[in-house]
Amino acid sequence: MWQNFWNLRVNDRLAEWKDFRHELDRLPLESAVIELNNMWSTAPFVNYNLDPSDPNTWPDPWTLLAENYWCDVAKALGILYTIYFTHHRNTPMELRVYYDYKDKQRYTVAWLDDGKYILNYWPYEIVNTKQVEEKQLHLLYQYSSTDLALEKY
Nearest CA among 94, 108, 104 for reference residue 40: 108
| 140 DSSP assignment | E
Asked if the model's pLDDT at residue 6 lies above 90, the reply is yes
Reported confidence tier of residue 29, pLDDT bands at 50, 70, 90: very high
Helix (H, G, I), strand (E, B) or coil at 51: coil
Output the pLDDT for position 67. Answer: 96
Sign of torsion over alpha carbons 11, 16, 18, 19:
positive
Whole-model pTM: value is: 0.95
Q: 29-40 and 10-25 are packed helices; what angle lies between their axes, rounded to 10 degrees?
A: 160
Nearest CA among 42, 52, 24 for reference residue 123: 42
pLDDT digits (tens, 9 = 90+) for 35-91: 999 999 999 999 989 999 999 999 999 999 999 999 999 999 999 999 999 999 999
Q: CA-based angle 80:41:60, to the nearest 5?
A: 35
How far, in whole angstroms, is CA 61 from its chain's centroid? 11
CATH number of the domain located at residue range(s) 2-152 in this protein:
3.10.620.30
Helix (H, G, I), strand (E, B) or coil at 78: helix
pLDDT digits (tens, 9 = 90+) for 109-145: 999 999 999 999 998 999 998 888 778 899 999 999 9
d(CA 91, CA 8): 30
Output the pLDDT for position 116. Answer: 96
- Residue 100: enclosing H or E segment and its boundaries? strand 93-100
d(CA 118, CA 83): 13
Stronger pLDDT, 2 or 26, i.e. the higher one: 26
> Contact, 119 vs 36, CB < 8 A?
yes
Stronger pLDDT, 130 or 96, i.e. the higher one: 96
